[in-house]
Amino acid sequence: MATLTEEQIIDIVYSLYETDTTGWDTTSEEYLAARNYCNIAIARWEAYDNTTWRELWTTLTAAADGDKTLTAVDYSYDCPTNFRRPGSWVRTGSTPQYWEVIAPEDRGKYDGVSAYVCWFTGNRKDGFDLNFNPELTLTTGDTIYYEYYKTATTFTATSSTTEMADPYFIVYYVLYRFLKNDGEDYADEANQSEDLLENMRVANMSGFQSIPNRIGETPDINYGFGN
């Protein structure tokens, strides 16, 4: 399915709601309300049934921000702003060197121990940091690699897009909210949006050919994490 921009999604909502193709002005109250409803739909998708969405896995390399290289005297590095939780061992350098991810409360066990361990600290409000064991020597310029689960992208501009596989869930969610506000019958639209959401969940868990149909466990380091 082709990616739809925020404006395309809201224009489809407009056509279904008003039964014409004029569209709301992008600065109008209706359009901005529709953007808010789009973001509520994205938040519902992100949290739906505690699903780990495949579309929200990404890498530090692909991130728009976050520290990506080591400096010998620095043992703490900013994670990307959309970081939610890690999904793999951390690697550094071209060889690479593997670093085991430990729970932050276990950090004290490694005082004076030259073990290749690292840990993540922080929360959604203040941001997250990746910390390396200071008992080891880091090499300036070595690249940092890790996979992580990110927060869903919300709409902030007409060109914004979503990671979700079926953006028509957003269309029908926003449409039902407008109909509900008007006191109209919105049952069909609400049911359609829920069906599309559940279909995405089922497809998410179906796996790929020759690949197990479940997402593996991530390192058990969520203790102390903010969500």
Write out the DSSP string of 52-66.
--GGGEEETTT-SSS
pLDDT band at 212; cut points 50, 70, 90:
low
| Spatial contact of 79 and 129, defined as CB atoms under 8 Å apart | yes
- Give 108's DSSP letter: G
Three-state SS at 69: strand
What mean pLDDT, rounded, does the chain reach? Answer: 92
Range 153-174 burial, b when 16+ CB lie within 10 A, else e: bbbeeeebebbbbbbebbbbbb
Q: What are 90-134's pLDDT values in tens digits?
A: 999 999 999 999 999 999 999 999 999 999 999 999 999 999 999
Q: Under DSSP, is residue 212 helix (H, G, I), strand (E, B) or coil?
A: coil
Whether residue 218 has pLDDT greater than 70: no
Question: What's the confidence (pLDDT) of residue 73?
Answer: 93
Mean pLDDT of 18-43: 97
CA distances from 189 to 33, 162, 173, 176, 179 (A): 18, 20, 7, 5, 9
| Residue 55, pLDDT score | 97
pLDDT the model gives residue 211: 52
Amino acid identity at 66: G
Q: Name the pTM for this structure.
A: 0.88
Phi/psi of residue 173, nearest 5 degrees: -65, -45
Is it the case that residue 62 has pLDDT exceeding 50?
Answer: yes
Give yes or no for a contact between 219 and 148, defined as CB atoms under 8 angstroms apart. Answer: no
Contact at 8 Å (CB) between 128 and 150? no
Q: Are 172 and 196 in contact (CB under 8 A)?
A: yes
Pairing of strands 90-92, 97-101: antiparallel
* Per-residue confidence (pLDDT) for residue 223, from 0 to 100: 40
pLDDT band at 214 (very low <50, low <70, confident <90, very high): low
Q: In this model, does residue 1 exceed pLDDT 50?
A: yes
